[in-house]
Structure 1
Amino acid sequence: MDQTSRIARRAGRPVAGTAIPEEVLLEAALRAFATYGYEGVSVRTLSRELGVSHNLINQRFGSKQGLWRAAVDHGFGDLVRHMEAVFDPTLSDPLDQLALVIGAFVRFSAEHPHLLGLMDIEGRIDSDRLAYIYDNYIAPALVSVGRLVDHLTAQGRIRPIPLRTLHFLIAHGAAAPFTLIPLAKRLDRANPLARKNIERHANLICEIIISGLRL
Structure 2
Amino acid sequence: MTDGRQAEAPQAPQAPEAPARGKYAPVLLDEREILRRGLDTFAELGYAATTMRELARRLDVSHNFINDRYGSKGNFWRAVVDFALLDARPALDRLLAECRDDDERLRSVIVQLYRLAANASGMNRLIQDESTRDSSRLDYLHQRFIKPFWDSIEPTIDSLMATGRIPRVPTHILYFAVTGPALALAQDPIADRLNPAAAPTTEQDRNSMADALSGLVLHGLLPPSHGETSNA
Give the TM interval when normalised to the shorter protein: 0.7 to 0.9
Q: TM-score, length-normalised on structure 1?
A: 0.81
Q: Is residue 2:155 matched to residue 1:147? A: yes
2:72 alignment counterpart: 63
How far is 1:41 from its partner?
Answer: 0.9
Q: Is residue 2:41 matched to residue 1:32? A: yes
- In the alignment of these two chains, the number of paired residues is 198
**Could you say what secondary structure the match of 2:87 adopts?**
helix
Amino acid at match of 1:35: E
Amino acid at match of 2:190: L
How far is 1:43 from its partner?
Answer: 2.0
Looking at structure 2, the residues matched to 206 and 25 of structure 1 have their Cα atoms a distance apart, in angstroms, of 32
1:94 alignment counterpart: 102
The structure that is helix-richer by fraction is 1
Residue by residue over 1:150-188, the C-alpha shift from the partner in whole angstroms, topping out at 9 and shown as x without a partner, is 1122233333243323322332323413x1111011111
Deviates more, 1:168-177 or 1:36-45: 168-177
2:59 alignment counterpart: 50
2:17 alignment counterpart: none
Q: Is the 8 A contact 2:96 2:105 kept in 1?
A: yes
**Could you say what secondary structure the match of 2:133 adopts?**
coil
Q: Which of 109, 115, 118 is the aligned partner of 1:107? A: 115
Aligned-pair Cα RMSD in Å? 2.2
2:145 alignment counterpart: 137
Q: TM-score, length-normalised on structure 2?
A: 0.75
Q: Which of 172, 185, 190 is the aligned partner of 1:183? A: 190
Q: Is the 8 A contact 2:111 2:211 kept in 1?
A: yes
Residue by residue over 1:112-133, the C-alpha shift from the partner in whole angstroms, topping out at 9 and shown as x without a partner, is 1112211222122211111111
How far is 1:69 from its partner?
Answer: 1.2
Looking at structure 2, the residues matched to 66 and 20 of structure 1 have their Cα atoms a distance apart, in angstroms, of 19
Q: Is the 8 A contact 2:181 2:213 kept in 1?
A: no
Unaligned runs of 5+ in 1: 1-15
How far is 1:106 from its partner?
Answer: 0.7
2:92 alignment counterpart: 83
How far is 1:197 from its partner?
Answer: 3.5
Q: Which has the larger radius of gyration?
A: 2
Q: Is the 8 A contact 1:26 1:74 kept in 2?
A: yes
Looking at structure 2, the residues matched to 131 and 163 of structure 1 have their Cα atoms a distance apart, in angstroms, of 18
Q: Is the 8 A contact 1:17 1:51 kept in 2?
A: no
2:32 alignment counterpart: 23
Go from structure 1 to structure 2 and tell me whether the alpha carbon gap of 1:72 and 1:113 turns closer, same or farther (over 3 Å shift).
same
Looking at structure 1, the residues matched to 121 and 143 of structure 2 have their Cα atoms a distance apart, in angstroms, of 21
Q: Is the 8 A contact 1:43 1:54 kept in 2?
A: yes
Go from structure 1 to structure 2 and tell me whether the alpha carbon gap of 1:145 and 1:45 turns closer, same or farther (over 3 Å shift).
same
Go from structure 1 to structure 2 and tell me whether the alpha carbon gap of 1:48 and 1:139 turns closer, same or farther (over 3 Å shift).
same
Q: Is the 8 A contact 2:114 2:214 kept in 1?
A: no
Deviates more, 1:38-47 or 1:22-31: 38-47
Q: Is the 8 A contact 2:118 2:207 kept in 1?
A: no
Amino acid at match of 1:99: R
Q: Is the 8 A contact 1:106 1:202 kept in 2?
A: yes
